[in-house]
Amino acid sequence: MKNNYLMLFAVAATLGLAACDTGEPQADASAPAAESSMSDAATEAADTAMGAIDGAVEAMDEMADDAMNSAADAMDSGADAMEEASDAAENKVDSQVEDAMDDMLNK
């Protein structure tokens, strides 16, 4: 999971740096068109990255939920098994005590 967060951070940082302006005005006439297309491209890339991040977060949430559900199911199964073992041991002890008492009374 740490790798996923690292990759998401790297993508966000790269997109942030790609969207940064150099701060120097451009003198030629194609500058506004270039800025517009670069801005559109950066916006589209950021939207794509955000979609990927959202998808990754949703996938991690689902994995965490599945893991929690699996752990809860395992704990429930363990508790059921312990209860069955306890009941079986109690029945065995009860049976042995009854047999011992019958033997004492019949002597």
What are the structural domain ranges in the chain? 2-13+37-105
Helix/strand/coil (H/E/C) assignment for every residue in the chain: CHHHHHHHHHHHHHHHHHHCCCCCCCCCCCHHHHHHHHHHHHHHHHHHHHHHHHHHHHHHHHHHHHHHHHHHHHHHHHHHHHHHHHHHHHHHHHHHHHHHHHHHHCC
Predicted structure pTM score: 0.44
| Confidence at 70, pLDDT banded by 50, 70, 90 | very high
Sequence-separated (6 or more) residues with CB below 8 Å from residue 31: 25
pLDDT at 31: 52
Residue 63 has pLDDT above 90, yes or no: yes
Q: Tell whether the model's pLDDT for residue 45 goes beyond 80.
A: yes
